[in-house]
Amino acid sequence: METADAVRQVEEILNLQDRWFAKDGGVTIQTPALFSRLQKVAGNASNMSSNKRLEVKKQLALDIDCSILHPDDLSDMILEVEFPSNYPSTSPCHVRAVKASNRESEYVPCSAAIEAYLQPFAGCECIDMLLDWLSDNKSTCLSKGPGGGDISGGRNDHEGQALCYLLRYNHLLSGPEHKKEKAMIAAAKKFQLQGGLLWGTPGLVVVVPPSTEEDAKEYASECRTIGKRADGPNEVWLPQSGLDEAGMGGLAQQKRGGKLQELDTAGLRIGCGGNESLLKQLLGVS
């Protein structure tokens, strides 16, 4: 993280904390230790180079309680907001809309609409734009999904994204001694399946276009005969730029002779466009 980004993140949060709803408990900092550290950095910024890099292991995260902002329309919604380390200079913030009564349950169309709306604003602080979008869409953002109405300020909810299909396995182990996994890779090549495979627990196969849901189902059926049973396929929208950078599908896969891209968590994070909330969704962790 560059010092300039740290200063801008701290200033944005401090301004947010001065709002009436924040003083009423509407904003909760989820990474207080990191926020405190970055406040000290911001206080000493005049003595530091603006492009000096800071070593950080987490991202600043905060919750916005929508029941305080819009009690009539959004009484059961919380926005989980994360600031990537390169926010706001080159990346927008990441936002996940979840139920206050069950934080593991996400309002997926709302999250997707917010992400799509904020994407063009890389380089700008996003919180005010997020709050404006929420005010404009508070009566519709929980009731209309993609194709069901304009909940994204006139933007395509999934612009720049690809509809992918996720197969989640209890575990997938790397190495020639693991014969079932070796057979899975061979089967994917035989089926000309496009995408990537994450080793570990859980293990994932991410099927990307031009492979289809039917392709994913056929592959999952083949894996059952091998002895590996998957949960899915489940739909997930992933940024096309992230898929390209991670080498999942397309020309990169052709150059590998048609093999799935083998991933670790860092590679999957790239496929998610650096979106930690989306990464957690794929991994099935809260």
Q: What is the mean pLDDT of residues 116-135?
A: 87
- Give the dihedral sign, CA 265/267/269/274: positive
Residue 156 has pLDDT above 70, yes or no: no
Give the start-end residues of each E strand in 91-230.
Answer: 94-99, 161-169, 195-198, 203-207
What integer pLDDT is reported at residue 50 of this predicted model?
57
What rounded mean pLDDT belongs to the chain? 86
3-state secondary structure of 83: strand
Q: What is the CATH number of domain 161-283?
A: 3.30.70
CATH superfamily of 3-137: Ubiquitin Conjugating Enzyme (3.10.110.10)
3-state secondary structure of 193: coil
The span from the CA of 31 to the CA of 84, in Å, is 13
Nearest to 84 by CA among 286, 271, 283, 269: 269
Q: Give the rounded percent of residues in the chain with a pLDDT score beyond 90.
A: 41
3-state secondary structure of 169: strand
What angle is formed at CA 184 by the lines to CA 183 and CA 188, rounded to 5 degrees? 115
Contact 50, 4 (CB under 8 A): yes
Q: What is the mean pLDDT of residues 266-271?
A: 91
* Widest pairwise Cα distance in the chain: 64
Domain with CATH 3.30.70 in the chain: 161-283
Question: Residue 141: pLDDT band by 50, 70, 90 thresholds?
Answer: confident
Q: What is the mean pLDDT of residues 64-79?
A: 94
What integer pLDDT is reported at residue 286 of this predicted model?
56
Q: What is the mean pLDDT of residues 13-24?
A: 91
Domain with CATH 3.10.110.10 in the chain: 3-137
What integer pLDDT is reported at residue 68 of this predicted model?
94
Q: Give the rounded percent of residues in the chain with a pLDDT score beyond 70.
A: 92
Q: What is the mean pLDDT of residues 140-158?
A: 49
Q: What is the mean pLDDT of residues 9-13?
A: 94
The residue with greater pLDDT, 136 or 52, is 136
The span from the CA of 185 to the CA of 260, in Å, is 7
Question: Residue 158: pLDDT band by 50, 70, 90 thresholds?
Answer: confident
Question: Residue 117: pLDDT band by 50, 70, 90 thresholds?
Answer: confident
Q: What is the mean pLDDT of residues 138-164?
A: 60
- Tracing tokens 């957690």 back to the chain, one arrives at 280
pLDDT in tens, 200-234: 888 999 999 888 899 999 999 999 999 999 888 88
Crossing angle, helix 127-137 and helix 108-118, to 10 degrees?
A: 130
What integer pLDDT is reported at residue 146 of this predicted model?
37
| The model's pTM | 0.53
Residue 123 has pLDDT above 70, yes or no: yes
What integer pLDDT is reported at residue 33 of this predicted model?
93
pLDDT in tens, 235-264: 888 988 889 888 887 777 778 788 889 999
The span from the CA of 257 to the CA of 247, in Å, is 13
The residue with greater pLDDT, 156 or 172, is 172
- At 45, give phi and psi (nearest 5°): -65, -30
What integer pLDDT is reported at residue 49 of this predicted model?
66
